[in-house]
Structure 1
Amino acid sequence: MLDFLPLPQSPKAPPAPSLSWDIFCQVIDNFGDVGVCWRTAAELVTRGQTVRLWMDDASALQWMAPQPWPQGLSAHAWPAQAADVPASIGDVVIEAFGCEIPAAFVSAIATKAKQSRPPVWINLEYLSAEDYVERCHRLPSRIMSGPASGLTRWFFYPGFTSATGSLVREQNLGPRQRDFAAVRPQWRASHGVQPDECAVSLFCYEPAALPQLLNQLMTPSDLKPRLLVTPGRATAAMQALPQTDRLAVQYLQPCPQPQFDEMLWGCDLNLVRGEDSLVRALWAGQPMVWHIYPQDDNAHHDKLNAFLDWLDAPDSLRRFHHAWNGMTAPQTLPLLSREVLNEWAQCIRAARSTLTSQTGLIEQLQAFVAEKS
């Protein structure tokens, strides 16, 4: 229904020195933490680095990133004991999303600092468009106690402006999208999407407005929707509601990250959740709605509004986000139409154009490490 516009060719980053990286990831959300860390690790390896990914739960990699893995990338169980810590600590150590490195590994970092030089120690933070991100990006944090006392850990914030660490963008993303554009009609046909249908992907938690959305999609309109539902919580949320034959629904199976990207490229509207899929939906350049991770104190409301402000979201897209995220009553969910989706597409593609003009997160990380080494 909506044309798919691939990303422009990204300039090749100059080669950086080959370093070893230890990336730590504790799984809190369903797949988002793993997704961000895996994409970061895999892209670093593509750029000539060696990466060990330390995880407390690597089960999602079985379908998200099936082997064989790129040479130079390995996954390891969380090193809770001294016996689990490798003899050689990486040149760079990353704590993803503020997870705390196990004490045994911290002791090994301190030992390395005394024997030679400490690794560049980075706290890779959560993605946000809030003002504090630009203020805190690249700030030092002195370790004041414990075996690593006196060492420095650096804050590195992904973000949406040139004053932040920007977003993960693979060097081959544009070529992959161009290759997909040539076979997009076949992809849609293989998923049961007719040429005149609006393909809607559903990757969400349990939005209170889901029944309202389904009622909309079952009401005759110019959209002719077909819903592609991702496995897990989205499928469970759908199956907990009464179903009718008036809505075309397909339930998808777990898939590797490249195939998830293709789903976003193949659909006309993407309802995504969490951090990794938000970034991938922005790179897709199709109309999208973000189901932000809910927090008990509703701090996610400010975070969502900051994103919508950066996005310069039109009124209908802002109101849809508010209803979808429970900030307003489900009944306030705006009606979808071809005209509305075209307006959203223009907004997302303008934002994507801004993002592509920035230096990507991986290249910024490598430059930062070179500066601090």
Structure 2
Amino acid sequence: MSFPRTLDLFCRVVDNFGDIGVCWRLARQLAAEHRIAVRLWVDDLASFRRICAAVDTAADEQQLQGVTVRRWQGALAGEEVADAVVEAFGCELPAGYLAAMAARPAAPAWINLEYLSAEDWVAGCHGLPSPHPRLPLTKYFFFPGFDAGAGGLLEEAGLAQRRAAFVADPRRQAAFLAGLGVQPEAGDRLVSLFCYPDAPVAALMDALSRSERASLVLAPEGVAVAALAAWAGRTLRPGDLVRKGRLALQVVPFVDQADYDCLLWCCELNFVRGEDSMVRAQWAQKPFVWQIYPQEEDAHRIKLDAFLARFSGVLPADASPACRALWHAWNGDGDVGAAWPAFEQALPAFGAAMPRWCATLREHGDLTGNLLAFIRRKGAGAAS
């Protein structure tokens, strides 16, 4: 086995599912495809369990799908240090573990896996070193991204083939939906809804209820609970179905990552949030609307526009403004109801552009492979 043989991945759960979602995908891919002994350190096992039902929230250590999952608590003094250490999203390693890294005869490769961004400055910061101010250690910044200047996106081997087989099989799709308690009516446009609590859900529901085509919106349990209940006029539980005009809204069970992919593949339009579901929506090759994680001083809108600037390059000229208007409105800058009709008209062009967009993304390699290549370059001295 080539370097690294072992890897420690540290994750603090900040955004419920986004941070652990990315880390869980990365850990599984490192173990399954690259045969690396991975320890995933997580501080919130309850949130982890929402996307992986096998998680034992009472266990300090457990084996899950080839990955050693450890509860992250305390300074971790005395722990054996891995060949490579990945600090997800600036979560800051425990002092005791840092000291053990510095005491190792050959320092481990140390990577800070950053948040995804399409901003131009990413290429200039990707791979930059950051020497520790007191210890003989150097951390390197690794940025996911959408072009050759960054680290790519997470995509496990065979994903495109699994998606293609699933979307080509209506019986598999029907069986999957039936397992969620969903039985669409003929002609329904299926829409998945995964958003933050502040999303303008009522405006979207009203727009869909007046839409040219009937829609069935599938909202996982726990998503925008208050907003959906306020719009429906009652508390909603899994299986509940509300109809208004051209819209039917159904709450479905919260599913694990594999089933969430299937949900995205079943739908004609996917509303997604944060980083993990946004990337999976792109690999689904279906039209999607992204709600970006809100930041102070509206910094998130700069990131939103940076992605739109890149993505609009694959859209027809008449579809790009419609996409931009609806995405802005969904992120609190505009009127969802006013933006919806043009966006609905642009959906066929949006969908037709997705395979080209995905092909462009794949030209830059997958994040896990790129990360390992980077680690090998920076940590070659530790291989001995």
TM over 0.5: yes
Q: Distance in 1 between matches of 2:149 and 2:112?
A: 17
Give the alignment partner of residue 245 of structure 1, picking from 239, 243, 246.
Answer: 243
2:269 is the counterpart of 1:279: no
Paired amino acid for 2:261: D
Query: Residue 42 and residue 101 in structure 1: after superposition, are their counterparts in 2 closer, same or farther (change >3 A)?
Result: same
Shift of 1:249: 1.5
The range that moved more, 232-241 or 100-109, is: 232-241
8 Å CA contact retained: 1:208, 1:330: no
Which residue does the alignment assign to 2:97?
A: 105
Which runs of at least 4 in structure 1 moved beyond 4 Å after TM superposition? Answer: 15-18
8 Å CA contact retained: 2:207, 2:336: no
Deviations 1:207-255 (A, max 9, x none): 453222111211151x210000022233332112235632311111121
2:74 is the counterpart of 1:80: yes
Query: Residue 276 and residue 252 in structure 1: after superposition, are their counterparts in 2 closer, same or farther (change >3 A)?
Result: same
Paired amino acid for 1:238: L
Give the alignment partner of residue 151 of structure 1, picking from 121, 137, 146.
Answer: 137
Deviations 1:57-109 (A, max 9, x none): 121232412337222x11111142345x52x2100001101110011111111
Which residue does the alignment assign to 1:7?
A: none
Query: Residue 208 and residue 175 in structure 1: after superposition, are their counterparts in 2 closer, same or farther (change >3 A)?
Result: closer
8 Å CA contact retained: 2:39, 2:69: yes
Deviations 1:158-205 (A, max 9, x none): 000011001011012123213312434442462212341100000001
Give the alignment partner of residue 64 of structure 2, picking from 59, 64, 69.
Answer: 69
Matches within 5 A, 1:42-57: 42-46=28-32, 47-57=34-44
Which residue does the alignment assign to 1:122?
A: 111
Q: Distance in 2 between matches of 1:185 and 1:212?
A: 33
Give the alignment partner of residue 131 of structure 2, picking from 128, 139, 142.
Answer: 142
Matches within 5 A, 1:149-228: 149-188=135-174, 190=178, 191-221=182-212, 223-228=213-218
Deviations 1:312-336 (A, max 9, x none): 1511010001000012244543326
Q: Which runs of 5+ in 1 are unaligned?
A: 1-14
The range that moved more, 36-45 or 347-356, is: 347-356
What is the aligned residue count? 349
8 Å CA contact retained: 2:111, 2:142: yes
Paired amino acid for 1:287: P
Q: Which runs of 5+ in 2 are unaligned?
A: 55-62, 234-241, 380-384
Tell me the TM-score normalised to structure 2 length. Answer: 0.86
SS in 1 for 2:243: coil
Query: Residue 161 and residue 55 in structure 1: after superposition, are their counterparts in 2 closer, same or farther (change >3 A)?
Result: same
SS in 2 for 1:328: coil
Q: Distance in 1 between matches of 2:131 and 2:125?
A: 14
Paired amino acid for 1:110: A
Query: Residue 166 and residue 208 in structure 1: after superposition, are their counterparts in 2 closer, same or farther (change >3 A)?
Result: closer
SS in 2 for 1:51: strand
Q: Distance in 1 between matches of 2:199 and 2:12?
A: 28
Paired amino acid for 1:213: L
8 Å CA contact retained: 1:16, 1:366: no
Q: Distance in 1 between matches of 2:76 and 2:365?
A: 38
Q: Distance in 1 between matches of 2:309 and 2:220?
A: 28
2:369 is the counterpart of 1:371: no
Matches within 5 A, 1:260-271: 260-271=260-271
2:221 is the counterpart of 1:231: yes
2:319 is the counterpart of 1:321: no
Which residue does the alignment assign to 1:349?
A: 355
Q: Distance in 2 between matches of 1:329 and 1:207?
A: 14
Aligned-pair Cα RMSD in Å: 1.9
SS in 2 for 1:101: coil
Which residue does the alignment assign to 2:81?
A: 89
Query: Residue 16 and residue 249 in structure 1: after superposition, are their counterparts in 2 closer, same or farther (change >3 A)?
Result: farther
SS in 2 for 1:323: helix
SS in 1 for 2:224: helix
Paired amino acid for 1:306: A
Paired amino acid for 2:243: D
Q: Distance in 2 between matches of 1:45 and 1:208?
A: 36
8 Å CA contact retained: 1:319, 1:332: no
Q: Percent same amino acid at aligned positions?
A: 38
Shift of 1:372: 1.4
Query: Residue 35 and residue 208 in structure 1: after superposition, are their counterparts in 2 closer, same or farther (change >3 A)?
Result: closer
8 Å CA contact retained: 1:265, 1:284: yes
Q: Distance in 1 between matches of 2:250 and 2:133?
A: 54
Which residue does the alignment assign to 1:30?
A: 16
Q: Distance in 1 between matches of 2:243 and 2:76?
A: 58
8 Å CA contact retained: 1:79, 1:105: no
8 Å CA contact retained: 2:207, 2:340: no
The range that moved more, 272-281 or 136-145, is: 136-145
